[in-house]
Amino acid sequence: MTKTVEEVRLYRVTDAVALLGQSRSAVYELIRSGRLRTVKEGRTRLVPSTAIQEYIALLEREAGAR
């Protein structure tokens, strides 16, 4: 069974890469620049599903501003 973004609360960075269709290095750059919010659980960096939704909304706002 496939889960939707709302059902999964936290994604590993590799899963976020697949969801966003970006390269691994591009996603880490988004994280470094603060455009994609993350949390840490121990040594693992996780991307909240809300952060993915916020990033997509940011892209839509930027596209609409042009």
- Please check whether residue 36 lies inside any domain of the structure: yes
- Please check whether residue 3 lies inside any domain of the structure: no
At residue 65, the pLDDT reads 80
- Please check whether residue 40 lies inside any domain of the structure: yes
* Tens-binned pLDDT, residue by residue, of the chain (66 aa): 566 655 789 999 999 999 999 999 999 999 999 999 999 999 999 999 999 999 999 999 999 886
Provide the whole-model pTM: 0.83
Total structural domains in the chain?
A: 1
The C-alpha atoms of residue 63 and residue 59 are separated, in whole angstroms, by 6
- Please check whether residue 17 lies inside any domain of the structure: yes
Q: Give the domain extent around 18.
A: 10-64
Using an 8 Å Cβ cutoff, are 36 and 16 in contact?
yes
- Please check whether residue 45 lies inside any domain of the structure: yes
Q: Is 36 exposed, middle or buried (0-12, 13-18, 19+ CB in 10 A)?
A: buried
- Please check whether residue 4 lies inside any domain of the structure: no
- Please check whether residue 26 lies inside any domain of the structure: yes
- Please check whether residue 5 lies inside any domain of the structure: no
